[in-house]
Chains A and B, each alone.
Chain A
Amino acid sequence: MSSGGPTPAGTPQVKSLNCPSCGAALTVRSFSHAVTVVCDNCHSILDAQDPTLKVLQKFHAATDEDPPLIPLGTRGTIRGNPYDVIGFQRRTIHVDGDPYSWHEYLLFNPFKGFRYLTEYNGHWNDVSVLRSLPLTSPGASTLNYLGETYKHFQTATAQTSYVLGEFPWRVRVGESAEVSDYVSPPRVISSEKTGKEVTWSMGEYITGRDLWVAFKLAGAPPTPIGVYENQPSPLGADVKLVWSIIATFLVLLVALLVACYSMESDEQVFDQSYSLDTSVKKEASFVTDIFELKGRTSDVELTTTAHVDNNWIYLNYALINEDTGHAYDFGREVSYYHGYDEDGSWSEGSTTDTVTVPSVPPGHYYLRVEPESQYYRGTIYYSIALKRDVPQVSFFGLGVLALLVPAGLITWRSINFEHLRWAESDYGDGDGSDDSAGDSDDDDPDRPIDLGISDEEDK
């Protein structure tokens, strides 16, 4: 047996003992703070303050049943202070009859005291006991601590199902406590109620990667599964920022639209009326007079208005540059139908059609027009109007869409993240009750877990 005092750094000072049950060597790192120590060979829970190391409880478990991811005795640095991992326990709750277990690592620094690390599905929390009580109201689903509001997440009865190492309290496998969690990511405040005693603690989410660095552990931490109750949303803080940026650009887009309407010439360069006699089968194509398109390369908007009544007219257009011979070829149909049936009156189509010819350089142009329609439907009167440098609202619409879509996606991802978070709570979909409200024996949170324990203290 050897003993030593605490050292602030370097190799942890330990006290070595032997298990009175199996004779295996025991290590006590928290000295007089240790109340119970667990033999990791025979799983006897021993009274560390009894000179004979009285056996308090034995539980049956394979030695490697639940090995700690951070081995006992490992020293790491948390918030600038060295801590030794001295205890490890697994705690289990039942929700709808299904067990959910998490792990708690007890850390000790002789000058700073105890703190905990909790791990569930690869999610880690750095936990310390609160020095002051949070403000609570009876029946309220929130609490307040240091001006921050925490929302109730879950209340469940947790049973200790596996222990290793030493603890500053009389740890027992099978002991239960009512645990309530209140979250304000990345923090969580937990209350543990055992009998009339309530302990409040605060946890702060910490990544496994940071812990692996802090404890100089080999390999990689387990990959987190799902979304944890106080896991900070990777996008939560960004949503407001993104929307403020998007709102700014939307305002700029509207300003640009106004500027375009005020600056673009929107000049009418051609307007002429024609007719198509459908009773005469002859070459119908014709060319217009030459007109000038001024200014820079810009769009040309062609509007066809035809007096069609349950009829159609199709026009093959060619906007031809008289100087270069370059033509813009396109066809447009104007059709309008209407009538009555058992559903009432109906109509489809329109007597007007507008098309925008893109990026037309300045120059002298004429239109080659070739109208077509059904034969023997009388004379169709139509007009053709051309405007130069017309603002295109469609691009502003696309611009708005281009701005809104990524912002919407980020918002959706953020909402989905919160949905996944709260799905695991007492308020989640399909599980609006906490596990203490179970009706069946299977759901009874107070049902002891079959841990194969034998209490030696009563013997």
Chain B
Amino acid sequence: MIRNSFLIYGLAVLSAVSLAEYRGWSLNRVDEVPNVPKSVRDNPGSYRSVYGYYHHYTGGK
């Protein structure tokens, strides 16, 4: 019982890692924006990034 459970579980882990690698998954968070107009190439400032108002860390100890 436990042998089969772990065999199935191990195969599932291996399959998940394989699929993640094959599909190019990532742990990073990236927003997807559909239908960006082609005019952005001519006027880059017209694009408004969702990260445009990021609060910057100024560092230092």
Contact = CB atoms under 8 A, between A and B. Distances in A.
Contacts of A299: 24-26
Nearest to B56: A314
Contacts of A256: 14, 17-18, 21
Interface string B42-53: 001101011110
Interface of A: 238, 241-242, 245-246, 248-249, 252-253, 256, 260, 264, 283, 285-287, 296-300, 310, 312, 314, 316-318, 320, 322, 325-331, 333, 335-337, 339, 341, 346, 348-349, 355-360, 366, 368, 370, 372, 374, 389, 391-392, 394-396, 398-399, 402-403, 406-407, 410
Contacts of A407: 6
Most chain A CB within 10 A, of B3, B11, B24, is at: B24
A389 B59 contact: no
B57 A325 contact: no
Interface string B1-42: 011001101110110111011111111111111111110110
Contacts of B61: 337, 339, 341, 346, 348
A431 B10 CA distance: 42
Contact of B34 (A264, A314, A326, A372): A326
A320 B36 contact: yes
Contacts of B28: 330, 355-358
Contacts of B27: 356, 392, 394
A193 B48 CA distance: 89
Given A370-B44, A398-B17, A316 B49 contact: yes
A337 B10 contact: no
Nearest to B44: A285
B33 to A, nearest CB: 4
Q: Shortest 10 CB-CB distances between A and B: which pairs?
A: A331-B51, A299-B24, A298-B24, A358-B26, A249-B10, A316-B49, A356-B26, A337-B59, A285-B44, A399-B17
B14 A399 contact: yes
Given A286-B44, A287-B40, A348-B61, A260 B24 contact: no
Given A329-B31, A358-B24, A392-B21, A241 B57 contact: no
Contacts of B33: 318, 326-329
Nearest to B20: A395
A327 B36 contact: yes
Contacts of B59: 310, 312, 335-337, 348-349
Given A310-B59, A402-B13, A318 B49 contact: yes
Nearest to B33: A327
